């Protein structure tokens, strides 16, 4: 089994505020992240794929294929955007990094079959860094 | 317990297959197919698995691990053109995947016996791309 991990970066703003909580409760729960004007991060997301190496090419996968999938399904829609306003999933979902990692996973899983044929590597892990101090990992 | 040692080496390579045209190689390997070559500052992390020895308190002597890594990987590969100077890359494409497997195969004999076993080889080609190889049949 070979695994390959590639890091992608995007910059986005968000505001953490739950419609199910009062104004005071939101301020108490999310603290500075509840600032009504929002705030932003330089996110990094590490995508890990696993599978077998093609004996002829020596490749687990063509990096360009992964780049184009991440580019069109994640970076193009997330980079330099306001997650709450610009990303459909967050119209009714708080854009915590836990939820953001899950949204990334869902988007990749949905598009995976159209980018990679059967027998190709599988998506194994999504690891989202909100800052250099916070990391959120999902084994898919 | 896992113990990991990191070493670095800088090397150049070309990723292309002689059976393919330049355009086909470019489509497969991207800019890595440039026939003039290009280079990376590779970072290698080698992990060993075992239990600390009751007397020494060590899983494996890290000084010895450093010597093994220098002898099998760093000295033969550092500041070399992999395709021309490091076998088997005169006939095997030096992708990160193949390089990780070659490093695994070179290290494996040192840990075939004894309590510390080779657990994982992680090779960073750049800060943003790395491969992990932990051995395995038919690969």
User: Taking the model in full, what pTM does it have?
Assistant: 0.92
Please tell me the predicted confidence (pLDDT) of residue A42.
97
- For A105-125, write each residue's pLDDT tens digit: 999 999 999 999 877 899 999
Here the tokens at position B73 are 């990987």
Please tell me the predicted confidence (pLDDT) of residue B139.
38
- For B74-89, write each residue's pLDDT tens digit: 999 999 999 999 999 9
Percent of chain B with pLDDT over 70: 98
Average pLDDT of the segment spanning B107-125: 96
Please tell me the predicted confidence (pLDDT) of residue B137.
53
Q: In which band, very low, low, confident or very high, does the pLDDT at A140 lie, cut at 50, 70 and 90? A: confident
Nearest to B139 among A7, A53, A57 (CB): A53
Options A33, A77, A115, A124, the catalytic residue: A33
Cα of A110 to nearest chain B Cα, Å: 24
Residue A105 contacts by C-beta under 8 Å, 6 or more apart in sequence?
A: A123, A126, A138, A140
The overall average pLDDT reported for chain B is 95
pLDDT at B138 over 60: no
Active-site residue A129, yes or no? no
Contact A41, A111 (CB under 8 A): no
Nearest to A58 among B98, B127, B130 (CB): B98
The residues on B that touch A, with CB distances below 8 Å, are 15, 17, 28-30, 92-98, 100-101, 127-134, 136, 138-139
- 3-state secondary structure string across chain A: CEEEEEEEEEEEEECCCCCCCCHHHHHHHHHHHHCCCCEEEEEEEEEEEEECCCCCCCCCCCHHHHHHHHHHHHHHHHCCEEHHHHCHHHHCCCCCHHHHHHHHHHHHHHHHHHHCCCCCCEEEEEEEECCCCCEEEEEC
- For A34-91, write each residue's pLDDT tens digit: 999 999 999 999 999 999 999 999 999 999 999 999 999 999 999 999 999 999 999 9
- Least Cα distance to B83 among B139, B133, B34, B37 occurs for B37
Task: Identify all chain B residues contacting A68, using CB atoms and an 8 Å cutoff.
Answer: none
Contact A2, A53 (CB under 8 A): yes
């Amino acid at each position: 089994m070979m695994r390959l991990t590639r890091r992608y970066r995007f910059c986005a703003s968000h505001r953490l505020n739950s419609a199910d909580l009062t104004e005071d409760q939101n301020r108490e729960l999310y603290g500075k992240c509840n600032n009504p004007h929002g705030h932003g991060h330089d996110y990094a997301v590490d995508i890990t794929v696993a599978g077998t190496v093609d004996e002829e090419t020596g490749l687990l996968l063509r990096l360009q294929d992964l780049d184009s999938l991440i580019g069109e399904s994640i970076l193009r829609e997330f980079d330099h955007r306001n997650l709450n306003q610009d990303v459909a999933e967050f119209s009714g979902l708080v854009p915590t990094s836990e939820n953001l990692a899950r949204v990334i996973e869902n988007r990749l899983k949905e598009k995976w079959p159209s980018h990679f044929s059967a027998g190709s590597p599988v998506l194994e892990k999504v690891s989202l860094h909100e800052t250099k101090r916070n990391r959120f990992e999902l084994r898919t | 317990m896992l113990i990991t040692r990191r070493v670095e080496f800088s090397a150049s390579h070309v990723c292309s297959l002689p059976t393919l045209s330049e355009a086909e190689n470019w489509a497969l390997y991207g800019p890595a197919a440039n026939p003039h070559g290009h280079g990376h500052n590779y970072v290698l992390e080698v992990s060993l698995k075992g239990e600390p020895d009751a007397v020494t308190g060590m899983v494996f002597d890290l000084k010895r691990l450093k010597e093994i890594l220098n002898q099998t990987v760093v000295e033969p590969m550092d500041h070399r053109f992999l395709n021309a100077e490091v076998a088997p890359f005169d006939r095997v494409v030096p992708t990160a995947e193949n390089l990780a497997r070659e490093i695994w195969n070179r290290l494996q004999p040192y840990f075939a016996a004894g309590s510390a076993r080779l657990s994982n080889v992680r090779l960073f080609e750049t800060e943003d791309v790395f491969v992990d190889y932990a051995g395995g049949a038919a690969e």
